[in-house]
Amino acid sequence: MQIQGSVVLVTGGNRGIGAEFVRQLKQRGAAKIYVAARSIDSVNVEDVEVITLDVTDDAQVQAAAAQAGDVQLLINNAGTTFSQTLVDGDFDVIRREFETNFFGPLKLIRAFAPVLAANGGGAVLNVLSALSWISASGGTVYAASKAAAWSMTDGARLELAAQGTQVTGLHMGMVDTDMTAGSDLVKIAPAVVVTAALDGLESGATEVLADDTARFVKASLTADPGTRYADSLAARV
């Protein structure tokens, strides 16, 4: 997927990783960029087309697909976390997290698949996480939603192959954005993540591991869960 001259839609493009996608897409010569956000007043960038979009709203998703009928690259970046727990958390809030992190990207893919097909196939980039592969205290619901989104990414890749659509999953550790402002863990800059993602798209990659954390966690998948979660499980003894 070549960025130069392409038409791109970025969900959650008003801040954080999404805003960095918009910045680098412009640098790489994208012909048109649709910036989708729940509040268009939060989009502070020139030379883009702004779309009001809550990815959990079916009508807004369909309206976006109708408005942006020339899209060749869909970047599913919008995401959220409410720091709920799986066992004791508010189930309605857990459902909201899945609506944004799993069903939202799926709805966008379903709505834009015909658009991408009509425009030559194009590509989809799903912004996932290293937590697609491992859970963590304080992020169990988020991890579960991203794990589901990872599986969905693989499934969509299979189903869209016949129409020539490239589907790429992006994984990374903690990124320095508003969403992680309350954490003192080591974070990487959004620019590092986005550069890796766009380089991967242009090289035809099916999966991009943007940092050492993502690479380490992916490599650990062959280990027994009792080993990977040894410290946490020791607390139950």
Cα dihedral across residues 27, 29, 32, 36: positive or negative = negative
C-alpha dihedral over 110, 166, 191, 65, to 10 degrees? -30
Mind listing the pLDDT tens digit of every residue in the chain (237 residues)? 999 999 999 999 999 999 999 999 999 999 999 999 998 888 888 899 999 999 999 999 999 999 999 999 999 999 999 999 999 999 999 999 999 999 999 999 999 999 999 999 999 999 999 999 999 988 999 999 999 999 999 999 999 999 999 999 999 999 986 666 566 667 799 999 999 999 999 999 999 999 999 999 999 999 898 887 876 666 555
- Give the span between the Cα atoms of 166 and 32, in whole angstroms: 19
- Give the span between the Cα atoms of 161 and 159, in whole angstroms: 6
- pLDDT value of position 85: 96
Is the distance from CB of 49 to CB of 99 less than 8 angstroms?
A: no
Angle at 28 between CA 167 and CA 189, to 5 degrees: 75
- Give the span between the Cα atoms of 213 and 13, in whole angstroms: 24
- What domains can be seen in the chain, in order of their start residue? 7-227 (3.40.50.720)
